[in-house]
Amino acid sequence: MTISYLCTLPLPDHWFDELARRVPGIEIVRAETGAEVPPETLGRIELLHTGDWFPEPAAVPALRGVQLDTSGVDHVRGTPLWASGVPIATLGGIAPVPMAEYATMAILELAHRMPRIERHRAERSWPSNAERLATLTPRQLAGATVGIVGYGRIGREISRLAEVLGMRVLGVSRSGARQQGGEKFDTGRRAAADDPAELFPIGRLDEVLAQSDFLVVVVPLTEETRGLIGERELALLPAGAYVVNIARGGIVDETALLAGLRAGRIAGVALDVFDEEPLGPDSLWWSELGALITPHVAGLAPQYHAQTLDLVVENVTRLAERRPLVNEVDRAAGY
C-alpha cells in the first residue's frame, strides 16, 4: 500500500524499520516536534502520528487521519485541526493493564496505611504496639465496595483485579450500558461480555458515591466531567472512604479533597494527576499525611513500543482501505 505517514515522536529506529516491514510501500517521514518539514512533503502527508504538534489544516491538505500518542484529547480540543473534521484516533487501549495495576496498588497501599508507614520510615520512628494497632491496622478489602467513575477498558481491568480481592464493583459511564465491542484497541484481559460489575449511568453517580468505600476516578476530561467530583460529591462518600484519581487534573476538586482528608471524612487519597503539572515543590500534597502522590505515571505501558506499533499498523491499513480508524474520537462526546 502507498500511504504517506509523518511521525513527530522520538521513537527508536527499529520501530520504524518494523513499521516499514509490516506495511510495504509506506512512506515514512520522521520529524520530531519542532523540526521543519518541507511544505511539499507536508502537503502529501495522509496520516500524522503526534503527541502535541497540530499543524494548520491548510498545511496538510492530503491529511486523512491523526494518530495521537495520548489517550486523552483535552489538549487537542480548540485547535484548528480538531475543528477540521479530520478523523483523530487516540492511544486508548495501550494502558488498561498498567493503569489497573496502579489503581489496585493504590487501593492496597491505602488500605494497608502505607502513606502513614512511609512517614514513620522518613522520620525513622518505630511506633508503639498501641499506635500500630490504632493507626496501622489494615482496612478490610473483602466485602468493600469500589466505585469506578469512567467505566471502559481500564475500568473493566480494575474490576477484574478488584474481584480477586473480594471487592464489590460499581461502574459509572455515560450511558451505564455494557460496551458491545466496537472499533476500540484493547490490551486488557477482560471482555465486556465477561464483566459482572454493576453499571450505572452518569445521572446516577450519587448512588454510586454513597456506596463507595473506595472511589477510583478514570473518566476522560471533557467539559462535562470538569469538576465532576466536587465538595458535594465527596460529602456523599461513606465516612472513611478513600479516593484514587488516575484520570486528569480538573475532574476532582483538589481543595475539597484536601479539606475532606484533613477533616478525617476521607481516610486517604492516591493522586497521580493534578490541576497543575508538574506539581510545584511548594504544593501541600507532597507532605500531606494520608496521601500517596505519584508524578503522572499510572499510564506508562511496559509494552508501549510493540502495542503502539500494532495500533499504527492497524490504522495505516484502515486508512489505505478507506475504513474508519480504530479508537476514533467521538467529537460530540469529547473523547
Instruction: For the chain, give the secondary structure using H, E and C.
Output: CCCEEEECCCCCHHHHHHHHHHCCCCEEEECCCCCCCCHHHHCCCCEEEECCCCCCHHHCCCCCEEEECCCCCCCCCCCHHHHHCCCEECCCCCCHHHHHHHHHHHHHHHHCCHHHHHHHHHHCCCCCHHHHHHHCCCCCCCCCEEEEECCCHHHHHHHHHHHHCCCEEEEEECCCCCCCCCCCCCCCCCCHHHCCCEEEEHHHHHHHHCCCCEEEECCCCCCCCCCCECHHHHHHCCCCEEEEECCCCCCECHHHHHHHHHHCCEEEEEECCCCCCCCCCCCHHHHCCCEEECCCCCCCCCCHHHHHHHHHHHHHHHHHCCCCCCCECCCCCCC
33-90 residue pLDDT tens? 657 899 999 999 999 999 999 999 999 999 999 999 999 999 999 999 999 999 999 9
Residue type at 127 in one-letter notation? P
pLDDT confidence tier of residue 32, bands split at 50, 70 and 90: confident
278-319 residue pLDDT tens? 999 999 999 999 999 999 999 999 999 999 999 999 999 999
Nearest residue to 145 (alpha-carbon basis) of 169, 161, 121: 169
Task: Provide the pLDDT for residue 1.
Answer: 67
pLDDT confidence tier of residue 194, bands split at 50, 70 and 90: confident
* pTM for the whole structure: 0.94
Q: Is the pLDDT of residue 179 over 90?
A: no
89-129 residue pLDDT tens? 999 999 999 999 999 999 999 999 999 999 999 999 999 99
Task: Provide the pLDDT for residue 129.
Answer: 98
- pLDDT (mean) for 179-208: 87
Task: Provide the pLDDT for residue 177.
Answer: 84
Percent of the chain's residues with pLDDT above 70: 98
Calpha distance 149→151 (Å, rounded)? 6
Calpha distance 184→177 (Å, rounded)? 16
Residue type at 288 in one-letter notation? E
Task: Provide the pLDDT for residue 305.
Answer: 97
Most distant CA pair in the chain, distance: 74
Q: What is the mean pLDDT of the chain?
A: 95
Task: Provide the pLDDT for residue 75.
Answer: 93
Which positions are annotated as active-site residues?
248, 277, 296
Task: Provide the pLDDT for residue 216.
Answer: 98
Write the CA distances from 305 to 6, 29, 185, 319, integer angstroms. 17, 18, 15, 21
Task: Provide the pLDDT for residue 230.
Answer: 98
pLDDT confidence tier of residue 182, bands split at 50, 70 and 90: low
Indicate the burial class of 69 (C-beta count within 10 angstroms; 0-12, 13-18, 19 or more).
middle
Residue type at 237 in one-letter notation? L
Q: Is the pLDDT of residue 193 over 90?
A: no
